[in-house]
């Protein structure tokens, strides 16, 4: 079949169009030739291409999912690239294993123990360390979640405990040197006002013999504290 060459019909980001060839094949569709372009990543490609030539570039890996939308591919050539076969190459390995009929198989350039091996022939054993790292990360995240849940539960328990706690304040009658004029809510706008009562004392009066607290309102104070604020005051 005759190949009809189209001058720069396809704009592929990151590729010099002086050397980039895009041809229309009447019987086979659209071909993208990115050979010897010095590419380090595969650029965004249209979904309708049928042939993708990427040999002899500087590709070390393929981004997961990058080739999945190219459903019309009939030929892919990734040979001659320095692929680094670590955990990140697993996507390309699985894609090549599913598309062996349309691919010219690339080989690993590194690490040393995997050099010159075809990527599609790598096994799960070659990626055992990746599985260990994934499991460790999962355990680490699970521990963090458990610790966070524990701290939240502890905080809620402390708040509930403080809400249900009863405070007992013991007042020794000999040291009650104040008179309560009024008792309101302990909120900032209704603070309890207390004042010292020393005007009733005359020179020579023994402070130990005469209590300064107005004992007539003491039962009322105790009742309000207990009912409204759950505070019990024990007076000897």
How many helices (DSSP H) and strands (DSSP E) are in the chain? 3, 12
- pLDDT over 60 at 44, yes or no: yes
User: Is residue 231 within 8 Å of residue 170, measured between CB atoms?
Assistant: no
What is the dotted CATH code of the domain comprising 4-129? 3.80.10.10
- pLDDT over 80 at 212, yes or no: no
C-alpha 109/C-alpha 79 separation (Å) is 11
pLDDT on residue 53: 94
User: Is residue 114 within 8 Å of residue 122, measured between CB atoms?
Assistant: yes
pLDDT on residue 236: 58
Among the listed ranges 11-15, 27-31, 144-148, 195-199, which one has the minimum average pLDDT value?
195-199
> Sorting pLDDT into bands at 50, 70 and 90, what band is 143?
confident
- pLDDT over 80 at 11, yes or no: no
pLDDT on residue 133: 53
DSSP 109-140: EESGGGTT-BGGG--GGGGHHHHHHHHHHHHH
Reading phi first (left if > 0) and then psi (alpha if -120 to 50, else beta), residue 213 is in beta
Residue 130's closest CA among 158, 174, 89?
89
C-alpha 148/C-alpha 143 separation (Å) is 9
pLDDT on residue 26: 47
- List, for residues 155-178, the tens digit of each pLDDT value: 888 888 877 776 665 655 555 554
pLDDT on residue 100: 83
pTM exceeds 0.75, yes or no? no
- List, for residues 75-108, the tens digit of each pLDDT value: 999 999 999 999 999 999 999 999 887 888 899 9
> Sorting pLDDT into bands at 50, 70 and 90, what band is 233?
low
Query: How much of the chain, in percent, has pLDDT values that exceed 70?
Result: 59
Residue 183's closest CA among 145, 223, 147?
223
- pLDDT over 50 at 125, yes or no: yes
C-alpha 191/C-alpha 213 separation (Å) is 19
pLDDT on residue 223: 78
Q: Give bridge partners of residue 195 from the DSSP assignment.
A: 179
pLDDT on residue 19: 45
Report the pLDDT averaged over residues 197-202.
Answer: 46
Listed by start position, the domains of the chain span 4-129, 167-234
Mean pLDDT, the chain, whole residue set = 73
Report the pLDDT averaged over residues 180-199.
Answer: 45
Report the pLDDT averaged over residues 215-223.
Answer: 74
Cβ within 8 Å of residue 67, ≥6 positions away: 42, 73, 76, 95
> Sorting pLDDT into bands at 50, 70 and 90, what band is 18?
very low
pLDDT on residue 49: 93
Residue 135 vs residues 42, 85, 128, 192: alpha-carbon distances, Å? 30, 20, 11, 60
pLDDT on residue 215: 65
């Amino acid at each position: 079949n005759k190949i009809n060459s189209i001058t720069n019909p396809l704009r592929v980001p990151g590729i010099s169009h002086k050397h980039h060839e895009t041809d229309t094949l009447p019987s086979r569709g659209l071909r993208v030739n990115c050979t010897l372009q010095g590419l380090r990543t595969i650029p965004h490609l249209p979904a309708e291409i049928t042939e993708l030539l990427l040999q002899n570039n500087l590709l070390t890996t393929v981004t997961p999912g990058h080739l999945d939308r190219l459903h019309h591919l009939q030929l892919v050539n990734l040979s001659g690239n320095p692929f680094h076969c670590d955990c990140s190459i697993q996507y390309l390995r699985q894609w090549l294993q599913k598309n062996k009929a349309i691919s010219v198989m690339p080989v690993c350039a590194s690490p040393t123990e995997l050099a010159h091996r075809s990527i599609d022939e790598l096994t799960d054993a070659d990626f055992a360390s990746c599985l260990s790292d994934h499991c460790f990360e999962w355990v680490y995240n699970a521990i963090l979640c458990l610790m966070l849940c524990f701290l939240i539960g502890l905080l809620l328990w402390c708040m509930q405990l403080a809400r249900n706690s009863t405070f007992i304040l013991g007042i020794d009658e000999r040291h009650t040197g104040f008179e309560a004029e009024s008792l309101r809510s302990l909120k900032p706008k209704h603070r309890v006002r207390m004042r010292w009562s020393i005007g009733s004392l005359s020179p020579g009066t023994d402070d130990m013999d005469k209590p300064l607290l107005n004992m007539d309102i003491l039962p009322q104070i105790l009742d309000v504290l207990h009912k409204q604020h759950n505070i019990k005051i024990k007076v000897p």
